[in-house]
Amino acid sequence: MEKRIESALVSVFHKEGLENIIRKLSELNIRIYSTGGTQKFISDLGVTVTPVEEITSYPSILGGRVKTLHPKIFGGILARRGHDQDEQDMDEYKIPSIDLVIVDLYPFEETVKSGADEASVIEKIDIGGISLIRAAAKNYRDVLVVSHQGQYNRVLEILEDQQGITTLEVRRHFAAEAFDVSSHYDTEIFNWFNRKENIPAFKQNISLGHKLRYGENPHQKAFFFGDFNVWFDQIHGKEISYNNLLDIDAAEGLIAEFSDTVFAVFKHNNACGAAVRDTLFDAWKDALAGDPVSAFGGILATNRTVDAETAAEINKLFFEVIMAPDYTPEALEILKVKKKRIILKRKKTGFPGKLFRTALNGVLVQDRDTKTETPDDLKPVTKRKPDAGEIEDLLFANILVKHSKSNAIVLVKDKQLLGHGIGQTSRIDALKQAIEKAGRFGFDLQGAVMASDAFFPFADSVQVAHEAGIRAVIQPGGSIRDQESIDYCNDHNVAMVFTGIRHFKH
């Protein structure tokens, strides 16, 4: 069902990109109604515009809080064309039809992010605009609603190519986008209020998203909702997959913990290699040495600019993704030899404070684990205290175990991951896996340290670790049998510290 636009209500906060639309409306002899600053903007273009006050017989009142909230405005939008009673009411009350509504909303989110005080934030809660958008979207059979700047080019095309004639399909699609805008806006307002009220309601709305090739497996459909470009610039390679995104997220979480030069290799959301060194080249070599088998097809991440020497060494390995804050031109030339290889440039940003995951027919919500232990958090519980070098290794290992799937054990020496056991159903099995892996890749565990994401239920873990060469242990503590582990360490000159912080990750 086609409709010709004969009148338009235009009232926007953001006026960039609006001029061409206004001029085209005027060219098509479409009557324009407007308010306040938008009205002045249109007048300054030399285009005829009718103030809404001429329809309502009321001025803008309450400091601009009430401008368009009037039956003659909403009647003109909501009236059903061809409906006898509606048309009788319009004639009786002299209500003009409005066929096009171009309205955006006060920048509530931007005001919150700016750190503005509460009074300023409250004033950016749009009332008239959101009401106009909802009204026009509800009556999409007769009205075209334009609810954000991103639609301006499409509207201009309609005006230019279709001479202001719209189809039902187009109006319905714009209406759906309008309700997306309004629901997102209301969700942001609710969540701002709920920071203090703690009403037990889960409301999230991410308007930016795109379809992925598939999910974890080819038979699963998948989408990513979020703004990837806030985090990274993709400067080379194929489309990023669902599994790539999971690994990238995990890698970014770990790398963000470090200020020293670090390189890490990720596979299935776990670091299979990691090292801190004075140079990036050495960090890469020692990270790869941690598990050169698992590194095949992995995700590489660092917090330093990749140089040509390091790139040449990296290029010997097949990998899916590399993430770094920058690359030298020579390094990029080397890394781009593989057409599908994904090269990402990291940006400085921060993770959201909440984590979500589905469970049964609902959603689990928790705070992000932002605790990173420092030397002050370490409580020595054994006669022998760890020396300075061991403390550095313990803290490094503790960061790695925090970002590993539970049950997790990490073995470290000289700030290099030597072996780990991850995702095991028992802590002793995780430890045995870590020891076996370290041995398989030729590492000597004499003098190494061990980190555990949770307490040891029995003393068997510290015993097995000591027999493998471990000299210092970091763990949360909290088992009713802690003393047994402490006693074993004391009897065998092993240093152990408690943190009091568990780092389960499932």
Q: Would you give the distance in Å from CA 54 to the centre of its chain?
A: 46
Encode 12-50: b = buried (16+ Cβ within 10 Å), e = exposed: beeeeebeebbbbbbeeebbbbbbeebbebbeeeebebb
Contact 419, 434 (CB under 8 A): yes
Determine the 3-state secondary structure of 264 from DSSP: strand
**Other CB atoms closer than 10 Å to residue 347's CB: what's the count?**
11
| Amino acid at the residue 209 | G
Encode 66-78: b = buried (16+ Cβ within 10 Å), e = exposed: ebbebebbbbbbb
| Amino acid at the residue 505 | K
Per-residue tokens: 226: 């979020």
What are the strands, taking DSSP E only, across 124-192?
Answer: 144-146, 165-166
The single-letter DSSP state of residue 151 is G
Q: Which residues are marked as active site?
A: 138, 268
| Amino acid at the residue 79 | A
- From CA 369, how far away is CA 166, in angstroms rounded? 51
Q: Of 425, 423, 473, 422, which is closest to residue 445 (Cα–Cα)?
A: 473
